[in-house]
Amino acid sequence: MPSALLELENVHCGYGQTSVLHGVTLSVPEGSIVSLLGANGAGKTTTLRAITGGVHWLGDIRFAGRSLRGRHTEDIVGEGIAHVPEGRGILTELTVDENLRLGAHKRKDRDAVRKDYDRVFEYFPVLKERRWLSASTLSGGEQQMLAVARALLMKPRLMLLDEPSLGLAPLVVRSIFEIIRTINQTDHVAVLLVEQNARLALELSTEAYVLEVGRVAVSGKSAELQGQESVRRSYLGY
């Protein structure tokens, strides 16, 4: 069994008095795409927040074999986790280029950064056109592209994507998902994909977890979950 890049073991957490996750265990193998599905309020966003240190948690979270306990967000992302948060986290006060530069600002390998810029502009030509404009002028889909591009410039080993399809036209969602697949295959970046659009997510991923009120209700190979009508009906809504 290949060792997992990211492992959550019996993670509990919440906000103040309200507890949200009640013992979540999941793992993301190196270079894989894993979906995290579930209804509104199930705790998907909270799970991602726990991974990058946005909420306190109990249990254990390990990345590349090392526990992330007690580490600050800034350090965790420096280890190679790019987190595209719910709402995309675009810095609308800054330009498109400045957003991209922030993605790469910790990197020392300047030549590689320049190549990554070229590649990002190849994936998302619109970002090249809008490069010097304020990020606030981008449409929702373009902002999502910027968020993914910026994450790629962090040269991560793992990307956490929180509902990249939210509010976007189906065609735009398709093209973003295609690029996520390409990034995963050519750069061997593992992806933990949170989605409401279960059908698309299961097509893209190899494994999936379904959260229900803070617990993993179902998990398995994406292809198998797709094939089980009862699972689809009761948890995935299609």
Partner 1 sequence: MQELIQQVVSGLASGAIFASLALALVLIYNAMGLVNFAQGEMAMFATFIAFTLIIHGLNYWIAFPLTLGIAFVAGVVIERVVIRPVERAPVLTLVIVTLGLATLVNGAAGFLFGYVPRSFPSPFSVQTINILGAFASFQDLSVIAVCGIVLIAIYLLLQRTTIGLTLRAAAHHPEPSRLLGVRVSWMLALGWGLASAVGAVSGIMVAPILLLEPNMMQTIIIYAFAAAVLGGIESPLGAVVGGLIVGLTVNLAGAYVPFVGGDLELAVALAIIVGVLVIKPNGLFGRAAVRNV
Ligand X SMILES: Nc1ncnc2c1ncn2[C@@H]1O[C@H](COP(=O)(O)OP(=O)(O)OP(=O)(O)O)[C@@H](O)[C@H]1O
- Contacts with ligand X by CB under 6 A lie at 15, 18, 20, 38, 40-46, 86, 196
Looking at residue 186, its amino acid is: T
Interaction between residue 187 and partner 1 (CB under 8 A): no
Q: Which does 43 bind (CB under 5 to 8 A by kind): ligand X, partner 1, Mg ion, none?
A: ligand X
Q: Which does 18 bind (CB under 5 to 8 A by kind): partner 1, ligand X, Mg ion, none?
A: ligand X
Nearer to ligand X, 127 or 161 (CB): 161
Nearer to partner 1, 95 or 196 (CB): 95
Q: Which does 46 bind (CB under 5 to 8 A by kind): Mg ion, partner 1, ligand X, none?
A: ligand X
17, burial (CB in 10 Å: exposed 0-12, middle 13-18, buried 19+): exposed
Q: Quote the least distance from Cβ 98 to partner 1, whole Å.
A: 6
Interaction between residue 130 and partner 1 (CB under 8 A): no
Other beta carbons less than 10 A from residue 2's beta carbon: 8
**Tokens of residue 223, six digits:** 């292809």
Interaction between residue 113 and partner 1 (CB under 8 A): no
Q: Quote the least distance from Cβ 56 to partner 1, whole Å.
A: 15
Among 130, 150, 155, 157, binds partner 1 (CB under 8 A): 150
Among 4, 24, 42, 154, binds partner 1 (CB under 8 A): 154
Nearer to ligand X, 50 or 190 (CB): 50
Q: Contact region for partner 1 (CB under 8 A) — 19-27, 103-111, 184-192, 222-230? A: 103-111
Q: Quote the least distance from Cβ 63 to partner 1, whole Å.
A: 15
HEC assignment per residue over the chain? CCCEEEEEEEEEEEECCEEEEEEEEEEEECCCEEEEEECCCCCHHHHHHHHCCCCCEEEEEEECCEECCCCCHHHHHHCCEEEECCCCCCCCCCEHHHHHHHHHCCCCCHHHHHHHHHHHHHHCHHHHHCCCCEHHHCCHHHHHHHHHHHHHHCCCCEEEEECCCCCCCHHHHHHHHHHHHHHHHHHCCEEEEECCCHHHHHHHCCEEEEEECCEEEEEEEHHHHHHCHHHHHHHHCC
Q: Contact region for partner 1 (CB under 8 A) — 62-70, 98-106, 171-179, 192-200? A: 98-106
Which residues contact residue 15 at a Cβ distance below 8 angstroms, ignoring those fewer than 6 apart? 55
Among 56, 106, 115, 174, binds partner 1 (CB under 8 A): 106
Q: Which residues bind partner 1 (CB under 8 A)?
A: 52, 73-74, 77-78, 83, 85, 89-94, 98, 101-103, 105-106, 150, 154
